[in-house]
């Protein structure tokens, strides 16, 4: 079974630029999560989708971050404009149902200069 | 969300058992105890979970205290590949949000 796919794996941008990350969850997984992991810290949930609807986005900085899950499958996370403090690893994860085991992708390491 | 408390780091010798503790004194009756681990430069991976009874799988064992306010992840024979950050998390299947909030975890170092 293929795992959660993410791209790109690495991205370097300058502050105030825009960036987008893509995620393809495991086939059949209805729940999709985006996490931000700053160096030395545990992952912090940004947004959770159930199919193509948002379940929780309370920790998403909505003035600069946006996410969508078209047709309840792939998802994109966008940052516009980026700040220095956005430098982190962005992890996508999915689960078959909201209470199931969560499978994580390899993450995208973002560096904002 | 109910919180968990774990030691920042632990050290073990290769091929010896490792007991990783987790305190969750505010756990609710419907919270499951989940353990994930994160190897260097990888996303977290599921290890084991349980509700009340002790659990075993091919990766580890989970021992849950009778009052459920603490639990211990047991690696029966640590290998160098077990060096990772281990996260203890509470997950309520009745909560539609079901955030799976991570704390700082325990960094396990394995010495050869």
Lowest mean pLDDT among A79-83, B5-9, B27-31, B32-36: B27-31
CB within 8 Å: A101 and B105: no
Band (pLDDT 50/70/90 cuts) for residue B30 is confident
- DSSP state at residue B7: -
| Average pLDDT in chain B | 91
Band (pLDDT 50/70/90 cuts) for residue B103 is confident
pLDDT score of B100? 64
Band (pLDDT 50/70/90 cuts) for residue B1 is low
CB within 8 Å: A98 and B43: no
CB nearest to B97's CB, from A35, A56, A101: A56
Band (pLDDT 50/70/90 cuts) for residue A100 is confident
DSSP A92-112: EEEESSTTS--EE---EEEEE
On whether any CB of chain B is under 8 Å from the CB of A56, the answer is yes
* Residue A30 parent element (H or E): none
What does the block give as tokens for B80? 């160098």
**Exposed / middle / buried, residue A13 (Cβ in 10 Å: 0-12, 13-18, 19+):** middle
């Amino acid at each position: 079974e293929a795992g959660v796919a993410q791209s790109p794996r690495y991205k370097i941008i300058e502050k105030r630029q825009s960036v987008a990350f893509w995620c393809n969850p495991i086939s059949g997984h209805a729940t999709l999560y985006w996490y931000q992991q700053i160096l030395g810290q545990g992952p912090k949930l940004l947004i959770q989708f159930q199919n193509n609807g948002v379940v929780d986005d309370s920790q998403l900085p909505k003035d600069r971050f946006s996410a969508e899950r078209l047709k309840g499958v792939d998802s994109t996370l966008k940052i516009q404009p980026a700040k220095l403090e956005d430098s982190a690893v962005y992890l996508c994860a999915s689960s078959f149902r909201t209470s199931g085991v969560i499978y994580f992708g390899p993450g995208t390491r973002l560096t904002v200069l | 969300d109910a919180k968990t408390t774990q030691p920042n780091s632990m050290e073990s010798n290769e091929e010896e058992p490792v007991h990783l503790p987790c305190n969750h004194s505010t756990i609710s009756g419907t919270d499951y105890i989940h353990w994930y681990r994160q190897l260097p430069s990888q996303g977290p991976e599921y290890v084991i979970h349980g509700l009340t009874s002790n659990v075993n799988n091919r990766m580890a064992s989970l021992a849950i205290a009778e009052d459920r306010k603490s639990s211990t992840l047991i690696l029966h024979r640590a290998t160098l590949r077990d060096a990772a950050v281990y996260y203890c998390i509470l997950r309520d299947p009745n909560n539609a949000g079901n955030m799976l909030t991570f704390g700082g975890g325990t960094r396990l170092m394995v010495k050869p």
